[in-house]
Amino acid sequence: MVCPRCVKAVRDIFSNLSIPTLSIELGEVEINHELTEDERLKLSEKLKEEGFELLEDSRKQLITKIKGIIIQHIHHSEEEMKENFSSLLEKELGKEYSYLSHLFSSLEETTIEKYIITQKVERIKELIMYGELSMSEIAYQMGYSSVQYLSGQFKKVTGLTPTAFKKQSNQTRNSLDSL
């Protein structure tokens, strides 16, 4: 689940299947009882129909939590990022960053750092398309030390400078769940 609409879709699935939930957040659902095999099958089927997956492997669950935290802080938080992602992930997940990084790389075929950069670039594209902020404001909001650093990273990922992207008539973004 990568956005509030995803959370709503999952909430609806659980509700329609009459499976009570304690909480539903990006990437995680907490229930108060063990699912029966029938409930598990129906839930898995309904989630797949909506483009989701029931994760029962604890390593995959942890990867999903890592992605959820990153997405939440980059795309859905208005607060300025005051700590780096390695500290944030350690604090929120209670595991050493070196373990999280190794696990992520082994299962996702990319690093956490590259995943963060990819997410930031998609958010920057969104902010550029809105046209409400200057590049300096975008750099500040996204936690970059300078517009030049943001521009260099943006170009490395997209092949375009932010200015060239802004001038394009066919500005394209990738969906968060495809990153």
* Segment 118-141, tens digit of pLDDT: 999 999 999 999 888 999 999 988
* Segment 25-76, tens digit of pLDDT: 766 788 888 889 999 899 999 998 988 888 777 888 899 889 989 998 998 8
**Domain around 74:** 59-171
In whole angstroms, give the CA distance from residue 24 to residue 121.
27
Read off the amino acid at residue 46. Answer: K
Looking up tokens 């050493």 gives 96
Q: Which of 54, 72, 89 is the last residue of a domain?
A: 54
pLDDT score of 58: 83
Same domain, 70 and 155: yes
Same domain, 38 and 89: no
In whole angstroms, give the CA distance from residue 22 to residue 18.
13
pLDDT score of 118: 95
Same domain, 67 and 26: no
The answer, yes or no, to whether residue 92 has pLDDT greater than 90, is yes
Same domain, 86 and 30: no
φ, ψ dihedrals at 103, nearest 5°: -60, -45
Number of structural domains, the chain? 2
Q: How many CB atoms lie within 10 A of CB 74?
A: 21
The answer, yes or no, to whether residue 175 has pLDDT greater than 70, is no
Same domain, 49 and 63: no
Same domain, 16 and 102: no
Give percent of the chain above pLDDT 70: 89
Same domain, 111 and 68: yes
Instruction: Please report whether residue 176 resides in a domain.
Output: no
Instruction: Please report whether residue 178 resides in a domain.
Output: no
The region that residue 120 occupies, defined by phi over 0 for left and psi between -120 and 50 for alpha, beta otherwise, is alpha
